[in-house]
Amino acid sequence: MTTPTADKTCANAKDMTSVDKAVAVLRAFRRDANNGIGVSEIARRSGLSKSTAYRILGNLEENGMVERVGTAYRFGTTLRGLGAQGTVATHDRLRNLLTPFLTELFSATGMTVQLGVLEGTQVVYLNKLEGRTRLETPSRIGGRMPTYCTGAGKVLVASNSSELEMALAVPRQRWTDTTITEESKLRAEFAQIRRTGIAYDRGECLTNLSCVAVPVTDGSGCPVASLSISGHTETFRPREVEYILRTVGEAASRTLTAATQRQTA
């Protein structure tokens, strides 16, 4: 049996078996397995016609392999269950690999620092070091927060169109007076993050808490994790820590890329 790759051409698709086509559809999800992706994009990545992709998605949905979320599809409970153990292992590996950079940030700033990853439309905090001045923060190790109101979350979804659309599709709660809930303003915010490579939370989940975050990217430039620094809104000056945050984030990205290349070599 052949093993199709994503973006197989439609000319070759006619020679694929039903199993081949199902595998091509599943592979098309890539990093969007938990966030969701539309039929047109699945068809493009798999090299299948839209009608064929739609039919296969229907069969996979009947068997719990995928599920529909609005107009998008994501992995269903069956595949998520199979992948849960792998997710834990991935989180452990990222925590072990990137915690030294979190420690470096803490040593340089003395402030509360966090390591986050994306799960669905939420940021999950893999590690956190409390600053010398304790803060009331919603982040805790293993805890989750929405992406739209956290710097750590915004920077993870801004550069991925499907993840961004999923983040915008969920109901948005106004946690504080500065929480951005309007779609147009959020889109402008995400566009700014794409241009600058840095994200801010200006008291958007707690009034007295602000945050600045950068991505940790893989070899393709895709965000895999985020490093963030938090401080009291009245006294926090994010510009004063941006340089060290960017520097450490870039070093962490190089380390992650090298580790990934060793794994696949």
**What mean pLDDT comes out for the span 252-257?**
93
My answer on whether 68 and 100 are in the same domain is no
Residue 121's beta-bridge partner residues? none
Q: Residue 64: its pLDDT value, please? A: 79
Side-chain half-sphere exposure of 145, counting CA atoms within 13 A: 24
155 closest CA partner among 228, 99, 83: 228
My answer on whether 60 and 119 are in the same domain is no
**What mean pLDDT comes out for the span 215-241?**
91
pLDDT tens for 151-164 read 999 999 998 887 88
53 closest CA partner among 65, 64, 38, 68: 38
Report the percent of the chain where pLDDT is more than 90.
45
My answer on whether 54 and 131 are in the same domain is no
CATH code at position 46: 1.10.10.10
Q: For residues 94 and 112, is the Cβ–Cβ distance under 8 A? A: no
My answer on whether 66 and 127 are in the same domain is no
Q: Residue 2: its pLDDT value, please? A: 38
Number of domains in the chain: 2
Which of 75, 96, 127 represents a domain boundary (last residue)? 75
How sure is the predictor about 143, in pLDDT bands with cuts at 50, 70 and 90? Answer: confident
pTM comes to 0.69
**For residue 232, what are its two tokens?**
């009291």
Which of 51, 75, 99 represents a domain boundary (last residue)? 75
My answer on whether 47 and 106 are in the same domain is no
Q: Residue 170: its pLDDT value, please? A: 84
Residue 4 lies in a domain: no
**What mean pLDDT comes out for the span 45-57?**
91
63 to 58, 72, 176, 203: CA distances (angstroms): 9, 17, 42, 43
**What mean pLDDT comes out for the span 41-46?**
88
On the question of pLDDT at 260 being above 90, the answer is no
Which of 41, 75, 109 represents a domain boundary (last residue)? 75
**What mean pLDDT comes out for the span 93-115?**
94
Domain limits at 129? 84-264
On the question of pLDDT at 13 being above 80, the answer is no
My answer on whether 57 and 116 are in the same domain is no
CA gap 265, 260 in Å, rounded = 9
